[in-house]
Amino acid sequence: MAAPPPPADADPRVEALVHDLIGRVADKWTMLVLEILEERGELRFTELSRSIGTISQKMLTQTLRHMERDGLVIRTVHPVVPPKVEYRLTELGQSLGAAFCGVWIWAEQNLAAVETARETFDGPLPSGG
């Protein structure tokens, strides 16, 4: 069942923000960064990078900048040598993580059905013409 379309009098700014944020959090890295910071609290860039394991420095930097711009993380630079930069979730970031718990629960509850659907789709084509 698809979600109903927004009402005709919906604020176009809200629609644009919703589409932008869904695109952001649906990317490969944002939800992973969100999850790690939720579990471990404030982390240095290198600690966060190690926790993810497979992300390039450039992609992690880009992801964190987008998240900072959207108000999801706070970047703290400590005036020491070498520089120490830490990231932590804002209240907004924490609330986004909580909102996506529903998606996680749905995935857990429907894992077998999705795997079956994928196997059926990826299976051999029916014979005949």
Residue 87, domain CATH: 1.10.10.10
Q: What is the pLDDT of residues 53-94, one digit of tens each?
A: 999 999 999 999 999 999 999 999 999 999 899 999 999 999
CB-side neighbour CA atoms (13 Å) of 107: 5
Do residues 29 and 79 make contact, with C-beta atoms less than 8 angstroms apart? no
Give the chain's mean pLDDT.
88
Residue 129 within a domain: no
Distance (Å, whole) CA 2 – CA 103 = 15
**What domain range is 69 assigned to?**
16-120
| Percentage with pLDDT > 70 across the chain | 92
Structural domain includes residue 86: yes
In a domain, 1, yes or no: no
Within-domain flag for 5: no
Taking only Cα atoms into account, the Rg of the chain, rounded to an integer number of angstroms, comes to 19
- Asked whether the beta carbons of 48 and 41 are under 8 A apart, the reply is no
| Residue 64, phi then psi, degrees to nearest 5 | -65, -40
Q: How many domains does the chain have?
A: 1
Question: What pLDDT is attached to residue 5?
Answer: 66
More reliable by pLDDT, 74 or 101:
74
30 falls within a domain: yes
- Global pTM? 0.74
Give the neighbor-by-neighbor strand order of the sheet with 73-78.
43-44, 84-89, 73-78
Find, among 112, 20, 108, the residue nearest to 71 by Cα.
20
**Separation CA 38–CA 53 (nearest Å):** 17
